[in-house]
Amino acid sequence: MAAENIPNIMRDFVKSMEKGDVDKALSFLTDDVDWVTPTGTIKGKDQIRRYFSSEAMKGLTVTESGNGIIAQGNRALFEHDLEATYRGRKAKWLAICAYEFNGDKIQHMRTVFDRLSLAQQMSSGLPKMLVNQIVKQSEKMVR
């Protein structure tokens, strides 16, 4: 598949996730798809279907940011902002996904995101104080 087709496939895949159209989202994936995330590895369409149907995906919005989509050969990187409400708390965080295609289907995905920023937005009470302390210590290292 030509690299110039990859960005449109990725955008259509993400739009179907945002709309909660699980069947359409799954149609962009190979049967043996795997998705490595900071919270674990999801293998196969059945596991991804369960993940897409979970509370974590409800109300998710994806906005291209920074470098957007960069495609070369059968691989692409996608820099974007994610926004969602989870357990009554709204959060926004940066993510980067690496995609590998087999023909016109996504076979491998690897996602990294700013877990510290997400924890800072989602926590409260003592956990939030601890997370904020970690953030302050990290900021000292870059000054």
Domain boundaries, the chain: 3-113
Report residue 123's pLDDT band, with 50, 70 and 90 as the boundaries.
Answer: confident
The count of residues in the chain is: 143
| Range in 24-33, 45-54, 102-111, 131-140 with the lowest mean pLDDT | 131-140
Q: Give the pLDDT of residue 130.
A: 78
Q: What is the mean pLDDT of residues 112-129?
A: 80
pLDDT, average across residues 33-38: 94
* Spatial CB neighbours of 33, under 8 Å, sequence gap ≥ 6: 43, 44, 45, 48, 105, 106, 107, 108, 109
pLDDT-derived band of residue 35, with 50, 70 and 90 as boundaries? very high
Residue 56: pLDDT band (50, 70, 90) is low
Cβ contacts of 79-88, under 8 Å, gap ≥ 24: 80/14, 82/113, 84/56, 84/57, 84/58, 84/59, 84/60, 85/58, 85/59, 86/55, 86/56, 86/122, 87/55, 87/122
> Using the 8-state DSSP alphabet, how is residue 3 labeled?
G
- pTM for the predicted model, two decimal places: 0.82
In the 8-state DSSP scheme, what is residue 2? -
The continuous run of DSSP H or E covering 40 comes out as strand 40-43
Lowest mean pLDDT among 24-33, 37-46, 117-126, 133-142: 133-142
Confidence of residue 74 (pLDDT cuts 50, 70, 90): very high
For the segment(s) 3-113, the CATH number from 3.10.450.50, 3.30.70.20, 3.30.930.10, 1.10.275.10 is: 3.10.450.50
Dihedral class, residue 88 (left if φ above 0, else alpha if ψ from -120 to 50, else beta) = left
